[in-house]
Amino acid sequence: MAPLDAQTVPLDPGAGGVLAAAGLRYRTVDIATSDFVPFIKAANRGFLGEEPNDEQIEGSRERLAGRRLTGIFDATSAEPATPIATVDSWVTDLSLPGRRTIPMWAISGVTVSPTHRRKGVARAMLEGELRAAAGAGIALAGLTVTEATIYGRFGFAPAVSAADWVIDTRRARWVGPAAPGRVHAVDRERLRSELASVHDRARLARPGDVPGWTGLWRRIAGLAPGNDDRKVRGVIYVDESGATRGAMAYTIGEEPADFTRHDLAIAMLVTESEDAYRSLWRFALEHDLVSTVRAPLRSVDEPLRWMIEDQRAATVTVSDHGWLRILDVPAVLTARAYSAPLSLALGITDDLGFAHGVWHLDVDDDGHGTAEPIDAVPDLTMTVRELGSVLLGGVRPATLRAAGRMQGSADAVTALDRSFASVDTPYLSIWY
Ligand SMILES: CC(C)(COP(=O)(O)OP(=O)(O)OC[C@H]1O[C@@H](n2cnc3c(N)ncnc32)[C@H](O)[C@@H]1OP(=O)(O)O)[C@@H](O)C(=O)NCCC(=O)NCCS
């Protein structure tokens, strides 16, 4: 089924009213017209970027195609056609445990001009996004954040962590198995298309992942309009049958003091087979004249750790990455698959109301869940944030209970822990 077109989803009248009372106009922006130019300039300014040139504006048009663009305008400002706040959103598939998906309201490009900060503009805009999504029947929202302290108040919580790897290649020594296929160098155009197709096939096995988009793959392959990056190199892994099973985009930079030492920075390494994974990692680690391999946004459970002789050759930094906000409890709890039977009443508090209530979750022997409101004393209580964090199986309920963020008996938490565990490790390899 084609995902809902976010551009058809009306703006939330509540947010419009709050902003109108502050003298501001809340409206969508047409990507196809000149209205888009001040919008993208405002968004770039919000993220402290440079003023885009015409080619970069066209690139942004391509990157944001299909999204709902919303701006907030101040008729009394010196640039009334330039929004003082921006957001873009679209409906996308979120991968769930059990190799299932659910439509998610993805939110990006949230900016408020420094001239209008801390007046409640972001709050009105984000609450408006959530109400619009819920009104359109979307069961959860997601985002990746530049600052981790903003979104908790709106019910978002980290659900997928990411690991940044820095590997000293002279120390690591490859001890992983060999792969029967071949690694081929490819040009950037081929790299772009292979990254996109392998990722699209691989994402189902990665709870927390979302599909990429044309502009993303172009940027990773160094082909973003106005930002041509000729340093980007590409390799693919082709199996014995001739099928491409993995692709890697990377750049190599020389260390200024020593031309025999280089950094290899992996912009994206995506694989759909163990052989492809082994082969492309080995290619990076054994690359001549490279002393350091850097790989941001990796999974928190990389098999790579067990394919190098000296695990201490790798410095791994884990941080929050994918954030979720549940809007419809029965819909999200029914959508994923579970690892063990369960029957519990979950008491959820939600300041914005969407998920508030006591919900009975019943999971049968086959891992199918059903959830419905119930009038009962809950076995476990938490806020909507904790439920979002544990949804994909990447955060353990027992950990949140130990942190004082979930209340209930140890038995109830253990049961939730077993049932919510995911065979596939949650993994989101892109910013959105
Ligand atoms: C972050 C940003 C969107 C906030 O906009 P704003 O209109 O000033 O925010 P609001 O006035 O609506 O504040 C909403 C709440 O968030 C809090 N908040 C706002 N910015 C914050 C920040 N950077 N860190 C922590 N809390 C923040 C406010 O204190 C307020 O809290 P409260 O409602 O619980 O009292 C804006 O400063 C901005 O555009 N920054 C640069 C771009 C950016 O970082 N975007 C976020 C992308 S993930």
pLDDT of amino acid 259: 79
Question: How many A from CA of 249 to the centre of ligand 1?
Answer: 34
Contact of 254 with 225, CB cutoff 8 Å? no
Residue 432 catalytic? yes
Max distance between CA atoms of the chain, in angstroms, equals 70
pLDDT of amino acid 257: 78
**Alpha carbon of residue 10 to chain centroid:** 24
Tokens of 327: 């809007």
**pLDDT tens-digit series, residues 373-427:** 999 999 999 999 999 999 999 999 999 999 999 999 999 999 999 999 999 999 9
Residue 19 CB less than 6 A away from ligand 1 = no
pLDDT of amino acid 98: 98
Averaged pLDDT, 58-86: 97
Residue 100 CB less than 6 A away from ligand 1 = no
pLDDT of amino acid 55: 95
Q: Which residue in the block uniquely carries the two structure tokens 């405002």?
A: 42
**pLDDT tens-digit series, residues 214-255:** 999 999 999 999 999 999 999 999 999 999 999 999 999 987
Question: How many A from CA of 121 to the centre of ligand 1?
Answer: 8
Tokens of 350: 């939600």
> Of the listed 237, 250, 277, 432, which one is catalytic?
432
- Residue to probe by mutation, ligand 1, list 89, 107, 123, 319, most atoms within 8 Å of CB: 123
- pLDDT above 80: residue 256: no
Angle at alpha carbon of residue 194, lines to 54 and 97, rounded to 5°: 105
Measured distance CA(108)–CA(110) in Å, rounded? 6
Range 163-319 has CATH code 3.40.630.30: yes
Tokens of 234: 């590409």
> Of the listed 26, 151, 338, 427, which one is catalytic?
151
Residue 136 CB less than 6 A away from ligand 1 = no
User: Starting from the edge strand earliest in sequence, which strands make up the sheet with 357-363, in order?
Assistant: 369-373, 357-363, 342-349, 380-383, 407-408
Question: What residue numbers does the annotated binding site cover?
Answer: 110-112, 118-123, 146-147
pLDDT of amino acid 315: 98
| Pairing relationship of beta strands 407-408 and 380-383 according to DSSP bridges | antiparallel
Residue 338 catalytic? no
**Alpha carbon of residue 313 to chain centroid:** 28
Q: 6-155 sits in which CATH class?
A: alpha beta
Range 329-420 has CATH code 3.30.1050.10: yes
**pLDDT tens-digit series, residues 334-346:** 999 999 999 999 9
**pLDDT tens-digit series, residues 135-183:** 999 999 999 999 999 999 999 999 999 999 999 999 999 999 999 999 9
> CATH 3.30.1050.10 in the chain, residues?
329-420
Averaged pLDDT, 350-357: 98
pLDDT of amino acid 346: 98
Question: How many A from CA of 143 to the centre of ligand 1?
Answer: 15
> CATH 3.40.630.30 in the chain, residues?
6-155, 163-319
The H-or-E segment that residue 42 falls in is helix 36-46
Report the share of the chain in percent with pLDDT over 70. 100
